[in-house]
Amino acid sequence: MTSQARGQLFNRFVADLLHADGIEAHSNLRGSGEIDVAFSVNNQRFVIEAKWEKPPVSTDAIAKLEKRVRQRLTGTLGIFLSMSGYTTAALDDLRQGGRTEVLLLDRHHLEWLLAGLTSADELMGRLLDQASYFGDPYATIERLFATNGRAEPPRVRPAEPPIDGHAPIILTHSSLNSSGISADGDALLLTTTDGVWRVEPATSKVELVVPIAGISNPVWRTAEGYLIVRREGAALYQEGLSVVLGGGIQGAVRAILGVDGSRWLFSNGSDGLRRHEPLVQCLPAELRAPALPPRQLDYPVMSAMNAQWLSDTQLLVVGNPGAWLYELVPDVTSTEVRAVQRLRFDQANPMGIAVRDSQEVFVAAGEMEVVRIDTSDLSIRVVQHVALGGSVSSLAATSDGFLYLLAYRMASGQEPQCLVVQLGV
């Protein structure tokens, strides 16, 4: 295959990716200079020059796109997509030039779009904001989606009385979009719309460890970094950089960890124009490795609220249809589901799952009930009821033996509030 043919295929791939996001795009257009891809977002026209070559792009290539942009209607913007990045001289020349007419994307931007960590609409909006407000035509993914120091930290150990005498409040946050907690040793990771906070209940220390906006559901600490989910995609975040692991899955997506530390995505499916069944999918152990096959789960579509591995082969899924225990083949390359057992579970809106040890699993449900499942005989009993007057969001078991519940309190005459309580079980 010639280099020209490969380039045209890459152009079609980029156009197809935009199509999949609901944007009409055209590839390989000929006019006053060939345009690789053309599209429009919110009435803003863009023309793309796409390069997947080994050397970083130089000033000359960007200048060529600038010329093509000026041959088109005023207001049209150029986007240069280089899978190998840009030379330092090219970036300096563009930033020190005149009016910005070309924005720059690299491999990382494309990977975020491909995995579903962002949408084309959102990405273009943030690129335009960065260039318009700060005069910067090139910003990394981490800069585009950074919280920029505006994140409000949670308040640890406020002076509030215990709930029911057994569940002291250890943390509050004004954001009602705090969407999950998980354990990091004896500390907690709190996911908010502004990023992820690490909270040490024993010392009241609070630290923003993942300064990326828009993350959803619990975030997990792994040896390689923080496993995050944003929209439909997953990435590892470590030391200011994120590396895409996979995604593009339909439905409400969350990350879960295997008992061996393996990284998984769980989706409750979707029932739109194309039906997608609930599934779990193991993320590759090596970065940018080939995707592993998903395993479909026989659970009502869009009804599951959470899932957690209990062993190498047992997966617990909870939702309004109940708690279902799946037996899966341990080989991550297999799609086989051996069996499913429905547990007797009467609580509505179960959201949080926390595994304390190999025999104790706790589930928090909508009426502020915490249920214990004994994995040895699968018996279920209510162990605590917390009078919050709100709803459950998440549950975490720390290494020092404590169990924490993230919930929302709707006190009469007060603003709704997100809080974390320490349970007495």
List the CATH number of the domain containing 370: 2.120.10.30
**Distance (Å, rounded) from C-alpha 76 to C-alpha 419?**
47
Same structural domain, 11 and 101: yes
Looking at the structure of the chain, the number of domains it has is 2
Residue 216 lies in a domain: yes
Of residues 348, 417, 352, the one with CA closest to residue 388: 417
**Distance (Å, rounded) from C-alpha 346 to C-alpha 352?**
15
Residue 91 lies in a domain: yes
Q: Are strands 275-276 and 270-271 parallel, antiparallel or unpaired?
A: antiparallel
**Distance (Å, rounded) from C-alpha 373 to C-alpha 98?**
65
Residue 112: per-residue pLDDT: 97
Domain range enclosing 343: 155-423
Residue 281 lies in a domain: yes
Residue 162 lies in a domain: yes
- Residue whose structure tokens are 């029911």: 164
Burial of 214 (0-12, 13-18, 19+ CB in 10 A): middle
Same structural domain, 166 and 104: no
Residue 287: per-residue pLDDT: 66
Residue 160: per-residue pLDDT: 62
Last residue of a domain, one of 78, 112, 144: 144
Same structural domain, 172 and 298: yes
Same structural domain, 168 and 139: no
Last residue of a domain, one of 80, 112, 144: 144
Residue type, 199: V
Residue 150 lies in a domain: no
Residue 267 lies in a domain: yes
Alpha carbons within 13 angstroms on the beta-carbon side of residue 85 total 6
Sign of CA dihedral 252, 254, 260, 261: positive
Element spanning 363, H or E? strand 360-364
- Residue stretches of the chain with pLDDT short of 50: 159
Q: Kindly report the pTM of this predicted structure.
A: 0.94
Same structural domain, 212 and 81: no
Same structural domain, 90 and 42: yes
Residue 31: per-residue pLDDT: 76
Residue 149 lies in a domain: no
Last residue of a domain, one of 144, 163, 192: 144
Same structural domain, 104 and 161: no
Same structural domain, 94 and 179: no
Residue 367: per-residue pLDDT: 74
Same structural domain, 193 and 341: yes
The phi, psi pair for 42, rounded to 5°, reads 50, 45
Residue 162: per-residue pLDDT: 67
Same structural domain, 237 and 129: no
Residue 161: per-residue pLDDT: 66
Of residues 187, 191, 203, 202, the one with CA closest to residue 154: 191
Say which CATH number the domain at 71 has: 3.40.1350.10
Residue 67 lies in a domain: yes
Same structural domain, 109 and 224: no
Residue 47: per-residue pLDDT: 97
Same structural domain, 140 and 161: no
